[in-house]
Chain A
Amino acid sequence: MRPLALAAIVATAAISPLAAQGSTAELLGQAHEFYERLEVERALPLLRQVVSPNWPFEVTQEQRVEAYKYLGACLTLAGKRDSAVLYFRAAIERDPFTELDPNLFTPAQLATFGEAQRRTFAVAVRPVASARVDPRTARVTFTIAATHAALVDVKLSTVGAGPPLSLFQGTMVGVREMTWDGLLADRRLAPPGRYALAVAGRSRLTGTSDSARVYFDLRHEVAPLEDTLPGLERRALLPERISPEAARHDVAKGLGVAAAALVIAGAATGDLGGGGRAEADVVAATAAVTGVVAFLVHRRQGAIPENVAANARRRAERDSANASVRGRNADRIAATVLLVSPAAGEGTGP
């Protein structure tokens, strides 16, 4: 298994895009080859070169941690336990997620590494990976680490607003995954924006404290929502009451019909014997009385029941349509998918 692990490490180092990193990777590769052949004394100088401040080539954080880890492993095999602990601690301080695989390392190395973990306290949280999460069926996952037993408080908060949501509060050791259902403390879906995941820990062995923080952006993927119908404007509704002016106009309209009937009869029958205006008089009288009665009735009782009913019907139709729209929109919002992506730091988010 060891050659396989070593090959993986070398390959990881070798795919670095920079030539300088390639040099570091080559040196690490050689060191690993010596380590695998148990030529510890030949591996140690190479590993020390990598972590030396005088090493001229770029060293990534992963390469540096790897070098410290194998320095610790080599020194353990060389019987230099204290120095091994120091290098293991250096690896752990730089990456609290550092672990030794029990299948690849000896019990002595594991014990020495455990000692280093006990002496070093650090908490960490992995950068949030990009993900598309349906909160109805899946969860956003965060990975937290504490180097040894500690009281850990994990809080999620919107950058710049809102109270934080406590995801975890308790004792933990090692690496732990935590899930988030996408809801905030008020049990509503978290709005789009930039979020911070803060981890604060207090060692139960040494009493020291440490904290870590990562940021991520949250966006909503939701089907386009429908607009509700606008409120009924005044002109879209029928008048529900008769105005005093309209009531007065009824008299004029009635008299208008009456006058028309009398004028028609009077003008036309003049050269045909005159008289005989009874039919016109009936209509004229009816119209005049209608105008006056309409005026009196409408002035006293101004409501227009037909219009009131028609307006109520229109309002009910509009309300019903809007209720349907709101229902469909609620269904779409309920099917909102959360899009999570890592972010660099404080900011306004997407």
Chain B
Amino acid sequence: MRAAGVIAGAAILGGGAPAGAQRALTVAPLVSLAEHRVDAGFGVERSLGPILGAVGTLRFGPRLAVAVRAVGGSLFGSTGVIDRDVGELGVEASVVTVPWLALQAGAARRAYSTKLARQTWTLVGFGARARVAFAGDAIHGVWQATLLPAVSASALRGPDMAFRVTTGLEYRIRTTTLGVEYSLERYDFPAEAGVRRLEQLSALTLRLELRLR
């Protein structure tokens, strides 16, 4: 968490410093309805709740951008499942290769905490984001796939497979962009004592991106 905090702080400070003519800073407050599912061999545990946060993006010219993401919320468990809080801080860099495709790489630190225990995750991933304009250029369709090859979670072995996929729409009105996205993260952990742990976090997110300068 400390390292991620330093990275985020540096990025925010960098964005606040006097910038060149090509730089642009956007801030996007977001709200998500997230559902967390875990099957650790005792049946599927589901928890659902709101997550609030924001993404600050600093663009260095038309191709390169660095984004810092900070979110947090509460997931309320279904019957028999303990409620939990979730918080995450991440940083992500993206490079536009062709106008409709950007390559991305990032890292995040996430924490789940219940009244019984606290679990931290470190996620490192890379992927691609396709962004296709509808006629008129005011609406974009978005498809994103990210592989998470380096995931560590406290008290767990790293998953055999982990990925995140996202799809949604962006509506641009002058300098403001409204995004609607569905995202899903999937983690398949290796079997231990004949039990295979599966974990999934899906979310419906509304994001309002405001261009500051």
Contacts and interface: CB of A to CB of B under 8 A. Distances in A.
Interface in B58-114: none
Interface string A261-277: 10011001101110010
Contacts of A246: 135
Interface residues of A, number: 35
B204 to A, nearest CB: 3
A272 B135 contact: no
Nearest to A301: B136
Interface string A260-299: 1100110011011100101110111011001100100010
A270 to B, nearest CB: 11
A283 to B, nearest CB: 4
Contacts of B134: 249-250, 253-254, 290-291, 294
Interface string B196-207: 001010111000
Interface string A209-253: 000000000000000000000000000000000110011011001
A32 to B, nearest CB: 85
Nearest to A254: B141
Interface stretch (B2-10, B33-41, B121-129): B33-41
- Category for how many chain B residues contact A: 20 to 34
A306 B181 CA distance: 25
A294 B33 CA distance: 27
A12 interface: no
Interface string B16-58: 0000000000000000010101010000101000000000000
A290 B135 contact: no
B189 interface: no
Nearest to A271: B198
A27 interface: no
A215 B187 CA distance: 96
A264 B37 contact: no
A interface SS class:
helix
B139 interface: yes
A273 B169 contact: no
Interface in B127-153: 132, 134-139, 141-143
B165 interface: yes
A150 to B, nearest CB: 76
The 7 nearest A-B residue pairs measured at CB? A279-B204, A283-B182, A246-B135, A273-B44, A260-B167, A242-B135, A272-B37
12 contacts: A250-B134, A254-B141, A261-B168, A264-B182, A265-B184, A265-B202, A268-B202, A271-B39, A273-B46, A279-B202, A279-B203, A306-B137
Interface of A: 242-243, 246-247, 249-250, 253-254, 256-257, 260-261, 264-265, 268-269, 271-273, 276, 278-280, 282-284, 286-287, 290-291, 294, 298, 304, 306-307
Given A254-B134, A290-B169, 11 more contacts: A246-B135, A250-B135, A253-B141, A257-B143, A272-B198, A278-B204, A280-B182, A280-B204, A286-B169, A290-B134, A304-B136
Interface of B: 33, 35, 37, 39, 44, 46, 132, 134-139, 141-143, 165, 167-169, 171, 180-182, 184, 186, 198, 200, 202-204
